[in-house]
Amino acid sequence: MGNEVLKAIRGRRSVVRFKPEPVPEEALQEILEAGRWAPSYANSQPWTFIVVRDEETKRKLGQLVERIALARRGRVAISGQGVGDAPVVIAVVVDPWRDPRHFVEAGAAAAQNMALAAHSLGLASYWAGIYEPGGGRRSVEAQVKRLLGVPRELHVIALLPLGYPAYQAQSDRAELAELVHYDRFGRPEVV
């Protein structure tokens, strides 16, 4: 792989267990900067990042994410681990009033920028998915919002626990040949 950006994209893995060492403040600021520089529709920047370091709040967030993980167990490989134990959790909040059409995509771009920045600094994270459109007051997302004091009309699309990885995570992907079609859908072609 040719350069540092490509290496980071290929090398980033979701990590759910972290060492207890704190995240250096400088690294945290670099990660937040990476989120700030994400693209958004018409540069609407519909995001806010909440840096959660309070132990009790992290523990409660972890319990809430665990609830989603339990509900989905057996269907997909997800977990709520790590959120309670990570030195820092970043909540990615988006505001549909600032961008009614693309707030989710913009928040996702910011989250991925931060995940890549974390990886490039030797840290790790994973995307704990809690966004539940139309989820109602009892949804996990609504409870996370209440816990963090996020106004009702906003959404929390991701929690990113951050820390030094406690293990080396593995992952794989479908081959490009299975994903790429040329000129029209359904026309895979080797170039």
Residue 23 or 111 with smaller CB distance to ligand FMN: 111
Residue 45 or 127 with smaller CB distance to ligand FMN: 127
Q: Burial level of 23, CB count in 10 A (0-12/13-18/19+)?
A: buried
Tokens 């030094």, residue?
164
The rounded distance, in Å, linking the Cα atoms of 190 and 10 is 22
Residue from 35, 127, 150, 160 touching ligand FMN (CB under 6 A): that is 127
Residue from 103, 126, 142, 163 touching ligand FMN (CB under 6 A): that is 126
| Long-range contacts of residues 142-151, Cβ cutoff 8 Å, at least 24 apart | 143/64, 144/61, 144/64, 144/91, 147/57, 147/60, 147/61, 147/64, 148/50, 148/52, 148/57, 148/91, 148/93, 150/50, 150/91, 150/93
Q: For residue 88, which phi and psi values (nearest 5 degrees)?
A: -140, 145
Residue 133 or 186 with smaller CB distance to ligand FMN: 133
Q: Using CB under 6 A, which of the segments 3-11, 97-105, 126-134, 138-146 binds ligand FMN?
A: 126-134
How many chain residues touch ligand FMN (CB under 6 A)?
Answer: 11
Q: Give the shortest CB-74-to-ligand FMN separation in angstroms.
A: 14
Is 113 one of the binding residues for ligand FMN (CB under 6 A)? no
Residue of closest CB approach to ligand FMN: 129
The rounded distance, in Å, linking the Cα atoms of 48 and 132 is 18
Q: Using CB under 6 A, which of the segments 13-21, 35-43, 117-125, 183-191 binds ligand FMN?
A: 13-21
Q: Using CB under 6 A, which of the segments 50-58, 125-133, 140-148, 183-191 binds ligand FMN?
A: 125-133
Residues at the site binding ligand FMN, with contacts judged by CB under 6 A: 13-14, 16, 78-79, 126-129, 169, 171
